Structure 1
């Protein structure tokens, strides 16, 4: 079970880091986003140093106990940055900046104490993890007690500001913030429990098993919930945009018969390609949207061009898609034979009066394209898709 939780946490954590880096690449000037990303990077680095293999490598290169020191310093930095994120979000920027600078002082003091206690710890007991640390050594106990004290303080402060920000927010951001709030509450409780364990072990007392298991269980649950919380709003927005992308992709394909017919008749109406931005457009799936809008515009332009011929054939503005498709074939044949004469444009394949948006317009074009695809002999082989 512990290994499964460890693997799941690592997977969620590193996927979240990658996702936030993509978001930073898209919005490099977003200060809050950069701080959140830095939080996740520091969390990932601290998590990595918590693994025995990584810790042994660092200690071998830099000295015994360095990995444990850096891991805990990173963890304190994470909760400080996290507190700053929600502080900036819930308060005015000047006031939040002043508060963040003041909050850096307890962090600096805590990290300094960690460094001094590590130096003062005998080499033979230095660098052990929480479970095996010799708490009878005062420098060792001081190291873990100070770290736990700062974590409880900073996480409780972050929890306070997160609750305030969540009350000010709307979904899906609010949902993610409330998930984060629950995770932070679990972290505060778990670290308060660990603080009690540290004090008891320093005094030579045995911590009860339920307290050890409870703190481990809370942390094992709170960390992945926290990661899900801070990434929830972005994931929800990406899911919504994914649904739009799928809708555009389907409509683009269904418009192919209509576009083929109109493009063959009016190739001069083809729009030039919109410049793309390489990997950023690939990651955001913008190419499908560009092609979708271009095809919709070209189909509508083609219908405007052919509408005088449709009017001459007796087509009415409220003609059904099947009737319009049947006459459209004749109109295109007449256009190809140059048998049509100029006339007044006719508004065809338009949505109802109660529908006045692009999606409604596209639905009418798709219905016309579907009807046209069912007309015998209308599809021409060799048309170029755009």
Structure 2
């Protein structure tokens, strides 16, 4: 487990450090949080790089001091805990008071690191144990004192991190900062479980029982806790980018899902299309927000031109709205064809319109033929007009308008429109004469 989780946690820490430095140096080289958070990531990277069994053994062979990697990794854990406490203190306290509290934490870290170094040296030389050195030597009184100092300081540090993070997360005011603080607190909580396991190791060693009983839990709590802390510390930085990606995806999906309604309106009233493309597709990658708004505007403009064919404003259930739009579209097409044929017969139709009309009719006929069998009677009760469909931008809540139009588009393409008599293009004249 150490050989799998520790390299993964180390890689995540080094990646987070690189991301933080590249982004921070580009934005503000004088930002103190850039270097404090960078130091925390660097310490985590050292901890899990050194704790990886292959690296552990290589370091100890080079320096010829067995288990020196234990002192290096656990000393970095102490330093990391103090660094995180200082970061959170700077976030949550004004400058003079914050510096005073931070200096106390730093002093405690230095005292404990000196004590651990003295105890580690006094314990004498031991055999190499890259994966379970702490549990192996927990029965040694000097190692037990060393481990006790380590556990106490780490537990106090992680407790302080949880205590500082959670209250400030509730009052942070920034969504991603609040989430980051909660994730950091969760990582510190796993760190406390790591301390519990290490304390059990110490107790088992002093009682003469098996101190390795819970050793398999150590890499799980340590690595997963560190990963949560890494994500928590970087979340305020890259979280807003995730929001933008999510918004882009939602807008692109709405744009695609709105296509059946947009097609139904623009095939009937093609003049509302602001910039007719050669092939009006459903997928987009760039300028998604602008193109979504344009689609909503075009649908609204088209429906306004169909409004005189509707007995009720487009409102109510999406199925009813879809049925009304189809009825109005069929009636509008019948009127449009009758007007054009009359203008041709009277010799008033222009050459441009004569050339474009066959293509327009062919497109409309192809769209109509592709529709499922649908009813031509709207089932919207009289007086059910909750609100008319406009251009979309007239409404205060654009997102709500997009959701409503997507629902209508889904109903338009689906088979849930109230069924009456199916119509075919031959019925268009009769429909037009009834409106």
The TM tier, using the shorter chain, reads 0.5 to 0.7
For 1:362, the equivalent position in structure 2 comes to: 402
CA shift digits 1:247-286 (9 cap, x unpaired): 323212234463786699532899xxxxxxxxxxxxxxxx
**Does 2:160 correspond to 1:160?**
no
Compared CA separation, residues 327 and 337, structure 1 to 2 (3 A)? farther
Compared CA separation, residues 295 and 373, structure 1 to 2 (3 A)? farther
Q: In 1, are the aligned partners of 2:165 and 2:184 still within 8 Å (CA)?
A: yes
Q: Tell me by how many angstroms 1:53 deviates.
A: 0.8
The count of corresponding residues between Structure 1 and Structure 2 is: 340
For 2:326, the equivalent position in structure 1 comes to: 322
Q: In 2, are the aligned partners of 1:322 and 1:368 still within 8 Å (CA)?
A: no
- The whole-number CA distance in structure 1 between the counterparts of 2:336 and 2:36 is 59
- The whole-number CA distance in structure 1 between the counterparts of 2:220 and 2:277 is 60
- The whole-number CA distance in structure 1 between the counterparts of 2:424 and 2:47 is 66
For 2:257, the equivalent position in structure 1 comes to: 254
Compared CA separation, residues 50 and 371, structure 1 to 2 (3 A)? closer
Aligned counterpart for 2:71 among listed residues 65, 69, 72: 69
For 1:101, the equivalent position in structure 2 comes to: 103
Rg bigger for which structure?
2
- Tell which deviates more after alignment, 57-66 or 29-38: 29-38
Q: Tell me by how many angstroms 1:55 deviates.
A: 0.9
**Does 2:81 correspond to 1:79?**
yes
For 2:377, the equivalent position in structure 1 comes to: none
Aligned counterpart for 2:186 among listed residues 167, 179, 182: 179
Compared CA separation, residues 156 and 176, structure 1 to 2 (3 A)? closer
For 1:43, the equivalent position in structure 2 comes to: 44
Q: Tell me by how many angstroms 1:361 deviates.
A: 2.4
Q: Tell me by how many angstroms 1:87 deviates.
A: 2.9
Aligned counterpart for 1:337 among listed residues 353, 362, 365: 353
Q: Tell me by how many angstroms 1:317 deviates.
A: 8.9
Q: Tell me by how many angstroms 1:153 deviates.
A: 3.4
- The whole-number CA distance in structure 2 between the counterparts of 1:298 and 1:316 is 27
Q: Tell me by how many angstroms 1:104 deviates.
A: 0.8
Give the RMSD, CA atoms, in angstroms. Answer: 5.3
- Tell which deviates more after alignment, 80-89 or 103-112: 80-89
Question: After superposition, where does 1:230-245 map in structure 2 within 5 Å?
Answer: 231=231, 234=235, 244-245=247-248
Question: After superposition, where does 1:229-308 map in structure 2 within 5 Å?
Answer: 231=231, 234=235, 244-256=247-259, 258=262, 265-267=273-275, 291-302=287-298
Q: Tell me by how many angstroms 1:25 deviates.
A: 6.3
Q: In 2, are the aligned partners of 1:86 and 1:165 still within 8 Å (CA)?
A: no
TM-score using structure 1 length: 0.61
Q: Tell me by how many angstroms 1:8 deviates.
A: 5.5
Q: In 2, are the aligned partners of 1:67 and 1:127 still within 8 Å (CA)?
A: no
Compared CA separation, residues 359 and 293, structure 1 to 2 (3 A)? same
Q: Match of 1:131, SS?
A: helix
CA shift digits 1:284-343 (9 cap, x unpaired): xxx95x5331222222454577688x279767893443346557878999898399xxxx
Q: Tell me by how many angstroms 1:95 deviates.
A: 1.8
Q: In 2, are the aligned partners of 1:17 and 1:41 still within 8 Å (CA)?
A: yes
For 1:384, the equivalent position in structure 2 comes to: none
- The whole-number CA distance in structure 1 between the counterparts of 2:271 and 2:293 is 12
Q: Match of 1:267, SS?
A: coil
| Gapped regions of structure 1 (runs ≥ 5) | 201-205, 271-286, 340-346, 378-386
- The whole-number CA distance in structure 2 between the counterparts of 1:312 and 1:186 is 66
